[in-house]
Structure 1
Amino acid sequence: MPADICLSSLKLTDFRNYRQAGLQLDGRHVVLTGNNGAGKTNLLEAVSLLSPGRGLRRATYAQIGRQGAEAGFSVFATLDGMAGAVSIGTGTDGAEGSARKLRINGAPAASTEDLLEHLRVIWLTPAMDGLFTGQAAERRRFLDRMVLAIDPTHGRRVTDFEKAMRSRNRLLSEGRFDPAWLSGLEHQMASLGIAMAVARRELLSLLTALVSEVDTPFPAPRTSLTGFFADDIQAPAIDLEDRYSVMLEEGRRRDAAAGRTLDGPHRSDLIVYHAQKEIEAALGSTGEQKALLLGLVLAHARLTRRISGHPPIMLFDEVAAHLDSNRRAALFTMIDEIGGQAFMTGTDRALFAAIGDNGQFFQVNDGGVVAD
């Protein structure tokens, strides 16, 4: 059964190990099988570039272009999107340091955030397995991508905050304690930083409410934020902005000595708990962590549909191999219920037998994709 929001074609040129590749899709879920290293994840990465940012690997554009190619790379897709049928093309021209270009229906787009008017893309990859035990920066990035799927303005908010913070750090490192200049930057950081914190908190509150409504075979995640006004973020935003501005002003000498800004939303951390066991996810077994992360991503997909009115495109890289047959079948059923088109990879087609006629299967070999 075709998904509500779905790609109808995908074409790659000089992308990773693909000189040329094309898929004609009929709206069903897409299952990509093949040996390790064949290029399955590369196809998911191409789809992930239909969203703002650098995709699911966060690779540089030089890394994405096929080795030996001189003209950059391109990804072209047609889809039934949130605003109707649309064609999207993105890529680079191969020049060193060149930015990613984007065309929507053949016209240049002002920003990659324009993609959010047509689709939302979420993903789960093996590289995310260490999310709960890794660095806080990775969890913040994961959290901000979740917020972006339901609040398209959040990406610009984060970018502008980081830009203002870098300018402040540079002034402090150079010993330029100009009150007017620093105050202007700090007021901008306060406005953006509190808005970021409130948006993150709102996202987690909505997720918590949704998780309590849905019964799934996966562990229920419970989330919280630590650091940066974590205990009083419910106070009026204008009061928090004033407090943060004062905090930044009083911390100038300290931050100058540290070489960085020590207070702000860039120091928050996302903490996830196994709700049934009441333990922090980082303390659970590897299997529990994988199941918790999958439950969190699925809950976020449901929330994205509820808030935006449309299901996301979902990318699951090698997810089925770690699930028993009952949980695999449950996963596929939940994906169907969410309603978005899912792209899934694996080395063994048999792992996806429960998808049945709801899936369109492709065999991936090095540099080539054929219908299976």
Structure 2
Amino acid sequence: MTTPQLIAFYFPQFHAIPENDEWWGKGFNDWDLVRKATPNFDGHNQPRVPIDKTYYNPCDRDTLKKQIEMAKKFGIGGFMFYHYWFDGKLLLEKPLESFLENKDLNFPFCICWANETWTRAWSGKPECILIKQSHTPDKLLWKSHFNYLLPFFKDERAIRIDNKIVVLIYQPSLIEKGDEMLKYWRELAFQNGLGDLYIIAVKNHQIINHEAFQAYDGILKFQPREAYTSAEFSSENKINHFSFLRKLPESILKYFRMLYMNFNNYHIYDSRKIWEIILSNAYLKEQGLEDKHIFESAYFEWDNTPRYGKKAKIFTRLSKSELQENLVKLLSKAKGNNSPYVFFNAWNEWSESAYLEPDNKNGFENLQIVSNSLKSFEK
């Protein structure tokens, strides 16, 4: 088997939309959060500044072209675009649609449905809903959603596994009758000449409801959150003692989140411990989900200060040699487990300081570490 490909998460919220104008102010996009971030302590690397202050608009074809050329140069194998659909209502769809329209942007891609309700959590009000993700169990809505995605599934650049189009879902446990929906999507895929789909569930934390994952082909561990919420990290992550609360309805959970936000302060977590957990648990399967293929993900930094200010979660940045060593080890485990892809969080999640793109402080260091890791792994 050849070297596993790195697929980087691609975040689209760097352009204004009418809904965000209404909710957050005229012209709002995530660059506003990035620019306004302030340090929580001496030496805190905030605000982050993209190299040459290139606060780009991802709807622009030339921007996408430059990003793809850069990603290719340093060995990234594709993008996983976040997709937002609320029972027929699309948000932040323009970057992905621009990519689809411009066939000369020759780069592998897949789509992840980020199927969560949007709230004012950034401003300490997770109970305040901006747009609700209802997951209405209606075949007409399921078909409408599939039909929107169909041109992307048919695109020659779409990533496949076992000749099946890859699609991911961010929060499987939130979908009412999710098994029926995915069965119907598979039927529609066959009817449209695609063959079967390869559907991956994103795992953000300990799985409480195993039934919600049965209809999937694979499970992607979203890092650093999956390791951070693991039992191994519980001694440093007090909220893990309340993981049982995830069994409660979402309408009740939002009030616990509100209490947590009101009394929480920023925390700094050791990425050495996180990476120890990632590597020791890599490709281990949970009881009851032994038939699911595992996909791992990597990260270099995570710091959501731009979004949460004094209530941020901050994961330390390791040295260049440590980052490279960890990534090489994860790629080696992927190859040993015949996994074709390792995902990376993220290409451009600037408001959570999780990005591979160059910045004014470290230049192209992140991308160079990726390139060096791939070259080292191939020797």
Could you state the TM-score of these two structures normalised by the residue count of structure 1?
0.32
Look at both structures and tell me which one has the larger radius of gyration over its CA atoms: 1
The structure, 1 or 2, with the larger RCO (C-alpha pairs under 8 Å, 6+ apart) is 1
